[in-house]
Structures are given as structure tokens and as C-alpha cells.
């Protein structure tokens, strides 16, 4: 029976480092499950792994930031990589913190029709016009099923819910009940959830380190591409904040501080999301413990 190992968890929880050791131990191939680490122009700010030669790493830095990439496209790509690993008698080690990607991988993807471009543009314009609270109330008026399921601060999920109900006339949660079949039927999932104060400190240090590694220049090159600000790559953690600095709207220290705060808020949401979505997964508080386990 073909097996797979899924390692997910809170951002900055040490997933990448431990997966290299696991790949060495189990003759594994590391396959990316992070929705921003796929973009080739932003390796520093998305913390893409640097140890790519000693262990096979797949689906990292292979998509242009100009592409409006989606979970549906990623599922097609990862299916090829997983099957290739099995064909070569290797263990697929799927790693990343993007909850929607992992959820779609193990539970299937809902069969929501493609959203028209004009609806996408209209949705974003409405958000900018109405603001966070006003847009939330608008979405709620069209889709009562979001109440208690999507927080008003979760812009991406709110926007998606609005697009879906506008395009199809049905709630996104109704569509979620109609899903495709997962390509994995024999896998083990570990969720790394270290103590929050530990994660928050690592987030702060990691972003400071990114600045030292040249992340400002990396984002400047991305900014100079004149991309649509709604493209996924433009919303990677830290990118909007550094762009504000490049536009002389804030100081570099202000940009760093805001990026750290926003990433900590994201990590906080991850703790809740993983526990609610993956109750059957194995939760651990220290990534190093994975090396000691038998899979």
C-alpha cells in the first residue's frame, strides 16, 4: 500500500529542518504544501528551504509571481510528484502550513465553478469601498452560513465566500459538501504546535534575519514587476509591509514591526484552525520529536 507522511503546523515551528532528517531516514522526497513557497521570485520572505541538493525537494519556487495560482492547480502538480515518488519506491513527505492546501489534499477539493474575472474585480472593489466591517455584513447578508465560521478579519476567506455565492448563488459551505476524491488513502499527519511564546519569538527573529539576508531587495524586484496587488504572491507575509516602506509610506522599522505583528496574528489563527480541522492528526509540541518516532 502506497504511504505518505504529512508534516504541517504553525509557521516557524521547524518543519523544514526536521523533514530533511526524516527524508534521510525514510528515503523520502520532500514535497511543498505551502501556498507561497511555490513562487520563484520570493524565496527569502517565504522561507524556502536552502538545502535542496542533498535531499529531493519538489514544488518549491517553480511558479511565476505573475500567475494567479490556485489550490486546484497545486493538486494537479502534487499528484504527479506523489505518484513519481511511489514509482521510485520513495516516501512522499508533504510539508507546509497552508491549511487549505492540506485540507484539500486529504479531504478532496470542492467542485466550485471558476469565478469570473469581473466578479473577482467587483469583490475587491467592494471590500475597499466598504471596509472590513461593511464587507463582512454584505457577505453575511448574502450567505448566512458564514456566521460563526468565517471571522470578519479573515479577508481571504470572506472574499472567497462572497465570490462563490455571487457566482453560483450557493454558499461556499454548501459547495464544500461536494468534493473530489483525495489521492491519498494511506497517510499519517503530524501537526507541530509549539508553545505560543516560543513561536512568537521565532517569528520576530526570523523576519529580522530575512532583512539581513536581503529581503528588502527581493521585494523591490517583485514590486518593480508592476504586478496586480491582488495576486497571491503579492500577499505573502511581509510583502505588503515592505512595499509600504519602498513607497516611503513607513520606515523600515515600522514595516518590520507590522510584518512581525501580522505574522504572529496569522500563527494565532493557525493554532485554532489546525485543532478544529485536523482533530484526528497527531499533535506534537516539538518538531525534533519526529526524528525519534517510527513511521
Percent of the chain's residues with pLDDT above 70 = 99
Binding-site positions? 9-16
Confidence of residue 51 (pLDDT cuts 50, 70, 90): low
* CATH code 3.40.50.300 for 197-268: no
What would the pLDDT profile of 25-45 be if each residue is shown by its tens digit? 999 999 999 999 999 999 999
Binding-site positions for ATP? 9-16
Is a pLDDT exceeding 90 seen at residue 67? Answer: yes
Binding-site positions for substrate? 11-16
**pTM for the whole structure:** 0.83
Is a pLDDT exceeding 80 seen at residue 49? Answer: yes
Which CATH number, 3.40.50.300, 3.90.75.20, 1.10.287.130, 3.40.47.10, labels domain 4-110+183-195+280-292?
A: 3.40.50.300
What would the pLDDT profile of 77-130 be if each residue is shown by its tens digit? 999 999 999 999 999 999 999 988 998 899 888 778 888 889 988 999 999 999
For residue 175, the model assigns a pLDDT of 87
Assigned CATH class of 117-175: mainly alpha
Residue extents of the structural domains in the chain: 4-110+183-195+280-292, 117-175, 197-268
What would the pLDDT profile of 240-270 be if each residue is shown by its tens digit? 999 999 999 999 999 999 999 999 999 999 9
**In the predicted model, what is the mean pLDDT of residues 202-214?**
97
Residue that the C-alpha cell 484552525 belongs to: 273
Whole-angstrom distance, CA of residue 242 vs CA of residue 250: 9
Amino acid at each position: 500500500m502506497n504511504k505518505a507522511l504529512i508534516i504541517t503546523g504553525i509557521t516557524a515551528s521547524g518543519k523544514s529542518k526536521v523533514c530533511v532528517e526524516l527524508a534521510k531516514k525514510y528515503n523520502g522526497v520532500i514535497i511543498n504544501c505551502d501556498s507561497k513557497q511555490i513562487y520563484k521570485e520570493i524565496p527569502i520572505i517565504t522561507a524556502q528551504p536552502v538545502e535542496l541538493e542533498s535531499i529531493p525537494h519538489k514544488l518549491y519556487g517553480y511558479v511565476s509571481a505573475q500567475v494567479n495560482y490556485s489550490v486546484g492547480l497545486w493538486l494537479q502538480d502534487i499528484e504527479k510528484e506523489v505518484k513519481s515518488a511511489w514509482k521510485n519506491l520513495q516516501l512522499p513527505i508533504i510539508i507546509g502550513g497552508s491549511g487549505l492546501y492540506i485540507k484539500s489534499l486529504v479531504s478532496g477539493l470542492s467542485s466550485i465553478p471558476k469565478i469570473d474575472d469581473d466578479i473577482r474585480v467587483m469583490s475587491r472593489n467592494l471590500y475597499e469601498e466598504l471596509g472590513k466591517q461593511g464587507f463582512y455584513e454584505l457577505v453575511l447578508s448574502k450567505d448566512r452560513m458564514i456566521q460563526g465560521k468565517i471571522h470578519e478579519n479573515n479577508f481571504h476567506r470572506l472574499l472567497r465566500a462572497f465570490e462563490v455565492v455571487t457566482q453560483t448563488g450557493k454558499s461556499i459551505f454548501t459547495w464544500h459538501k461536494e468534493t473530489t476524491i483525495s489521492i491519498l488513502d494511506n497517510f499519517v499527519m503530524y501537526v507541530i504546535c509549539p508553545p505560543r511564546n516560543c513561536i512568537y519569538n521565532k517569528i520576530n527573529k526570523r523576519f529580522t534575519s530575512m532583512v539581513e539576508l536581503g529581503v528588502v531587495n527581493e521585494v523591490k524586484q517583485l514590486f518593480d514587476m508592476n504586478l496586480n496587488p491582488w495576486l497571491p504572491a503579492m500577499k505573502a507575509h511581509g510583502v505588503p509591509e515592505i512595499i509600504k516602506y519602498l513607497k516611503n509610506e513607513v520606515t523600515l522599522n515600522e514595516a518590520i514591526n507590522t510584518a512581525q505583528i501580522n505574522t504572529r496574528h496569522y500563527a494565532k489563527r493557525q493554532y485554532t484552525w489546525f485543532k478544529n480541522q485536523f482533530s484526528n492528526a497527531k499533535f506534537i509540541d516539538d518538531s525534533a520529536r519526529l526524528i525519534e518516532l517510527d513511521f
